[in-house]
Structures are given as structure tokens and as C-alpha cells.
Amino acid sequence: MNKGIYYYVTIATDQEGYHLLHRQECKRLPAKQDMIFIGTLYNLNQALSTARINFKKVKPCIKCCIRYSSPVIRESVRPVHHFPQKMI
């Protein structure tokens, strides 16, 4: 198992009332007094569910959580025709 990552939740909320979940190394991490340390966790889902025990609306920070935790391949996949259909 990998070592845990320190996760924080902001006390302030955004316009929609969401608290942001941050990893310790996030460049957008607010000041320490503006955050709550929720624990040393091993993945984003674990951190989110822990955060949601304490906060109703939590969403992961795009900069740190989404970018590093879930490598989403954003390239659109083009279907490949192995046998090109000819127009008859």
C-alpha cells in the first residue's frame, strides 16, 4: 500500500456551497487556519467519503485531487474501421 496523503477541506465554501477537498501539496491550498485536516488517506474516494461525514457538500479540488488521483484520458477515442466500408 502506498503511504497516505494528507487531505484538507476548506472551511469556506464556493458560490454553490461546496467545500473543497485539497491534498497537502496543492498549490491552491488556503492558509492553515482556513482548512480542516480530515486525515491521512490513500485515495480520493476515501478522502471524499471521510470529508462528507463532516461536510454535506464537498468536491475535490481540480488542481490537486482530480489531476493526480484519477488519470482520466481526455483524448477522444476515434473508432477504427479495420475494414473500410466502400461506398457502393
Compose the 52-81 pattern: x for residues touching Zn ion by CB under 5 A, - for all others: ---------x-xx-----------------
Whole-angstrom Cα Rg for the chain: 19
Does residue 41 touch Zn ion according to CB under 5 A? no
Candidates 5, 9, 26, 38; binder of Zn ion (CB under 5 A) is 26
Give how far Cα 27 sits from Cα of 22, 50, 73, Å.
Answer: 9, 22, 23
Candidates 7, 22, 44, 51; binder of Zn ion (CB under 5 A) is 22
CA distance 39 to 30: 17
Q: What does the binding site for Zn ion look like in residue numbers (CB under 5 A)?
A: 22, 26, 28, 61, 63-64
